[in-house]
Amino acid sequence: MAKELKNILVNRIHDNALKRLSERYFEGRLIDIGCGIKPYEKMLKPNVTEHVGVDHEASFHSKNNVDLFGTAYDIPCEDSSFDSALCSAVLEHLEEPEAALRECYRVLRPKGYAIYSVPFIWHLHEEPRDFYRFSKYGLEYLFGKAGFEDIEIRALSGFWVTFGQLLVYNIYRFNRGPLRWLRIIDAIGLFLQGGFYLLDRVDKTEQWTWMYIVVARKPDSEKR
């Protein structure tokens, strides 16, 4: 429960943004790259006809919901197999992010859309497989180089949510013994997240975002 409470704010911000964008851009067959437990399957079900999750054999997550075993560099599907693509908080864990974007481009049909969420200011996680952080300019460059067009990059927060969330994660280092039993750290964490969310609504300095969400389109092949 504590694990869910300590990042409830950023999860809700991310998921709300993904829901809005998926309703607008997703359709048909969806490839979920680095799907893990496929946490967005229920959310995306109304927008797609099939949700195919791909992940690698050495994933840290449960493999019960993985449909295809492969990697972000080698998805075991033919070219232009999918109408839509999702890759959430995976790109930072890949040694060669450009190669992964090119593989997504390969399996996506012409005019298909991909949605990625990518961290900018965030702590180390899933170590040692945590390699990069991306600015919006770096993302625009990488997606463009991989062949995508109509690239839209949105900051999901400003300084206050980012700072507040990192502060809450740091405080949770002390969540043990009586503090854990009495749920004191949980209460402090929720209070801080709520307060920093309100501050972020008043003063959203996007250059301090914790994460970007990217929408990119594969061009019509006949026009290239």
Query: Model confidence over 166-183: pLDDT tens digits?
Result: 999 999 999 999 999 999
Query: Model confidence over 44-103: pLDDT tens digits?
Result: 999 999 999 999 887 766 778 899 999 999 999 999 999 999 999 999 999 999 999 999
pLDDT of res. 223: 47
C-beta contacts of 200-207 below 8 A and 24+ residues apart: 200/157, 200/158, 200/159, 200/160, 200/161, 200/164, 203/158, 203/159, 203/160, 204/157, 204/158, 204/160, 205/158, 205/159, 206/155, 206/157, 206/158, 207/155
* Superfamily grouping for domain 10-157+207-223: Vaccinia Virus protein VP39 (3.40.50.150)
| Cross-strand bridge partners of residue 108 | 82
3-state DSSP call for residue 73?
coil
Query: Model confidence over 143-156: pLDDT tens digits?
Result: 999 999 999 999 99
CA triplet 124, 125, 129: central angle to 5 degrees?
100
Domain boundaries, the chain: 10-157+207-223
Q: Could you tell me whether strands 211-217 and 149-155 are parallel, antiparallel, or unpaired per DSSP bridges?
A: antiparallel
User: How far, in whole angstroms, is CA 115 from its chain's centroid?
Assistant: 8
CB contact at 8 A, 74 and 47: no
How much is the pTM? 0.93
Residue 112 pLDDT exceeds 80: yes
Tokens found for residue 197: 């969310």
All residues at 6 or more sequence positions from 17 whose CB lies less than 8 Å from its CB, including other chains: 154, 156, 213
DSSP string computed for 131-172: -----HHHHHHHHHHHT-EEEEEEE---HHHHHHHHHHHHHG
Of 203, 91, 195, whose CA–CA distance to 153 is shortest? 91
Task: Tell me the Ramachandran region of residue 174: left when phi exceeds 0, alpha when psi lies from -120 to 50, beta otherwise.
Answer: alpha
Query: Model confidence over 208-218: pLDDT tens digits?
Result: 999 999 999 99
Tokens found for residue 12: 């809700």
Please give the helix or strand (H or E) that residue 195 lies within, else none. helix 184-202
Residue 142 pLDDT exceeds 70: yes
Q: What are the backbone angles phi and psi of residue 67, rounded to the nearest 5°?
A: -90, -35
